[in-house]
Structures are given as C-alpha cells and as structure tokens.
Copies of this chain bind each other. A is one copy, B any other.
Amino acid sequence: MSATETVFKPGSYKTDLKPVWCPGCGDFGVLNALYRAMAKLQLEPWNTVVLSGIGCSSRLPGYVATYGFNSVHGRGLTLATGVKISRPDTTVIVVGGDGDGMAIGGNHLMHTCRRNLDVTYILMDNEIYGLTKGQTAPTTPTGDKTKSSFWGNPEPAVDPVELAIATGATFVARGYSGDMKMLTELIQRGIEHHGFSFINVLSPCVTWRGETQYGIIKEKLRSVPEDHDVTSREAAMRFTREKDVVTEGVLYEVHEPTFGDQLEAIRKKAQGGKPEPSTKEILKTFYPTL
C-alpha cells in the first residue's frame, strides 16, 4: 500500500506497547486526542517525530507509531530543535510534564518559544511529579502538601501559559484531558500553526493528586469567550494566573517568521544562488591573500 492511498485512523498510530499509566490518568486523554488530531491531519507516521523528556507523560512517544524518542529529563525540546532544523519537512511534536518542561527544562522552553521553532509542544500539566511518586512541581499550588513538601509547598506556582506568551510563543492554548473534542481541536490547530505552538493541557494525576482533580477542573472550566482577540498579547495575558476559572481554548495566535524560516533565509543569502563550495574551495580561503 503506497503512502498516498493510505488512510490513517486514530488507531493507525497505536503501537503495541501498553501504556504504563495508572487507570484514570489524564494522560490517556491526551494520547487519544493526539491520535485523533494526527488522523484528522493524516500525518504520515514516517514523516512525523514525537519527542519527550522523562516523566509519566514523557512515556507517550512509546505509544505513537511514528518516529519517537523518549529522551532524558527536561531535554525534549533540545532534541526537537535538532530534528526540526535539520529535517524541516517532518512534523515535530513534543510532549512532557510540568516538571520536565517547567522545572529542569524551563530554560529550553523559554528559548524555544523565543526562537519560534515550528514544533507543537504539549505540556501535560498535573501539578505534580508523577513518575517519581508525588513531589512538588512548579505548577503545584502554594501550600499543598506533597512528598517533598511535608509542611506545604512554600513556592508560588507558575502559569505555563503566561510564561509561553511572555517568552514569545506564537500559538498558546489551554486544554483539558477530560475534554477530548476541544483537546483534539487544539492539538490539530497547534500542529497546523506555523511556529511554536504551546498547548498547556490540564491532565490530572489521580494517584498523587487524587481523583477529585477532575471535579475541581470541570467546575472551573469555561471556554475562551467568542470575542477574544487571539492576536492580542494583552488580552491573552488576562487568561493567566486565573484563580476561580480555567479558560480552555486558543488564547493567543500570531504569525511570525519561524526559526527555520530565518535559517533558511540565511542559507539563501549565504549561497547567493551559487553551488555549494567544495572542501578545496573552502580551504583555499586559508591561503595568504597578499
């Protein structure tokens, strides 16, 4: 069956590896939404790369039948940069947890936003370190007791959406793993977006934050207002540091040259239509020019 005839269904992207996630984990929802978005876009598995760091959430690439790489803690985006820049034709999707993306990987997130690398980044936010069994994450609410904060978390939480907007992401959305329809759409739009698309997904950890998370989120959940101007940074910022509500949807989307576009422009300029110089030609520039 040749590539052009193939029709990919959500199930086409499944591998035969069984997810290690706990029953009820929000990450199942993210995986399913991703399968669906990929099918909607008919992504060719051999031209798609899914990368991650380490964490429960970062196990996801093992379950997607594309090229996949579950790398090391916090570094998913650094590998994604290498993949996307060196092979611009591939669709690159990066996933990871709040700890992976905002604690150890925070610097890469910030700089990848800034560069507007054309990849889609799904931050699976469960407000906890799942894989290592329940320590405080950068998104854990202040005062919450965790394995590593016996007396309550002394730190204010980060809002990933705020950070992404402030550091230059050109597509910023918030989703919820319990809202499959919306999440599928957000992922689809994120992949379609030309530039860095950041999707903060509330994905409850039932084991270390409890089953009640679903209820808490559902209670607060609302969609982004119809009249919201997604091109306004100021307007988008209004949906950050929310307390009583959780706003789902695309919060920000603008179009800027991507990092790949910029590097391509440099290549054009550098080559000036001329063929690639050979090693010898390069070496010749080291002759004294007297």
Contact = CB atoms under 8 A, between A and B. Distances in A.
A263 interface: yes
A166 B162 contact: yes
Kindly report how many copies of this chain are found in the complex they form together.
2
Contact of A166 (B115, B166, B256, B263): B166
Interface residues of A, number: 32
B110 A154 contact: no
Contact of A155 (B104, B114, B151, B237): B114
A89 to B, nearest CB: 19
A162 B162 CA distance: 11
Contact of A106 (B110, B116, B237, B270): B110
A266 interface: yes
Interface string A90-119: 000000000000011011001100111000
17 contacts: A110-B158, A110-B163, A114-B138, A114-B156, A114-B158, A115-B154, A115-B156, A116-B156, A151-B266, A151-B270, A154-B263, A156-B256, A158-B167, A158-B168, A163-B166, A165-B166, A234-B234
